[in-house]
Amino acid sequence: MELLDGKKCAESLVADISRKVAGYIGSGLRKPHMTIILVGTHAPSESYVKSKIASCGRAGFEGNLIRLPETVTEQELLAKISGINNDPSTDGVIVQLPLPSHINEQNVINAIAPEKDIDGFHPTNFGRMALGQKAFRPATAYGICKLLQFYDIPIRGKHCVVIGRSNIVGKPISIMLANDFDIGNATVTLTHIETPRELLLDETRRADIVIVAVGIPGFVSEDMVKEGVVLIDVGINRLENGKLVGDVDFAAVAPKCSWITPVPGGVGRMTVAALMINTLMAYENNFNLN
């Protein structure tokens, strides 16, 4: 068993980005600029935002955080996004999810200018990605692809099973790996909460690659996978004792895997790296550098 080390891969990708950025700044351009909007003080969001801002520093980007109170109205938030959409000094914007329940998340995602949508959640980017066109790809799914590529994991023609169908992880990764992309061409099965247990087991037990994003600690047990499987654990779950774990019973399942992602230090790090790649792409689009 070997680890798919998201920290190592992310550091390598961000180092490549920072070299490119240094070249652009050397030629007289400004830094790439990411803006993050955080509503309220949701503890996991605070920690995700902190790591995104820190990564901006390492990549040579300007990263700025706009904090809005929990009580902000949807209209006020949309007005803030509109201001950023029209501000040429910002290349990419993220509205950290989840939002308070009085705000409609889809309205907020739809309000972000597609050319600044570095999370890749806007219908224009999602649609373009699904059609195989140039787009900001949803960051977690894109990060998983980059991790598989970094470790030369064969994907073409492989049988991949995705557990969980969220718009931010399960759905986009299933589309991306099935598409005729550079990192794709797998045969993909997308499973979800309505998948009968027996069918789920049939699928996972013959999968070459299993990607799990359900948010349930220990969901993937040793008897669910075959010897030599590649296992991507997207889950981030905080246990009562404060420990951070994924969706896989790591101690029991890891010995059966050829490759597995740790939690923490796996997919989470890659999500942030993919955001940096998308921000650089937004910047290069702005300055016609590609």
Query: Which residues are catalytic, by number?
Result: 52, 96, 119
CA separation for the pair 31, 180 (Å, rounded)? 33
Is 155 a known ligand-binding residue?
no
DSSP state of 128: H
Q: What residue ranges in 54-177 does DSSP mark as E strands? A: 62-68, 92-95, 159-163
Q: Is 268 in the site for ligand NAD (CB under 6 A)?
A: yes
Least Cβ distance, residue 10 to ligand NAD (angstroms) = 11
CA separation for the pair 11, 152 (Å, rounded)? 17
Q: Which of 18, 85, 124, 237 binds ligand NAD (CB under 6 A)?
A: 237
DSSP state of 220: B
Q: Which of 84, 169, 176, 210 binds ligand NAD (CB under 6 A)?
A: 169
Q: Is 192 in the site for ligand NAD (CB under 6 A)?
A: yes
Q: Is 262 in the site for ligand NAD (CB under 6 A)?
A: no
Helices 267-286, 6-26: axis angle to 10 degrees equals 20
Of 93, 74, 85, 196, the closest CA to residue 136 belongs to 93
Where does this chain touch ligand NAD (CB under 6 A) — which range of 75-83, 105-113, 116-124, 230-238? 230-238
| CB of 140 or CB of 278, closer to ligand NAD | 140
Tokens in use for 121? Answer: 């959640």
> How many residues of this chain bind ligand NAD (CB under 6 A)?
22
C-alpha pair distances (Å), 74 with each of 29, 107, 109, 120, 238: 35, 9, 12, 21, 29
What is the per-residue binding string for ligand NAD in 139-158, x denoting contact by CB under 6 A?
A: -x------------------
Residue ranges in contact with ligand NAD by CB under 6 A: 140, 163-166, 168-170, 191-193, 195, 213-215, 234-237, 267-268, 271
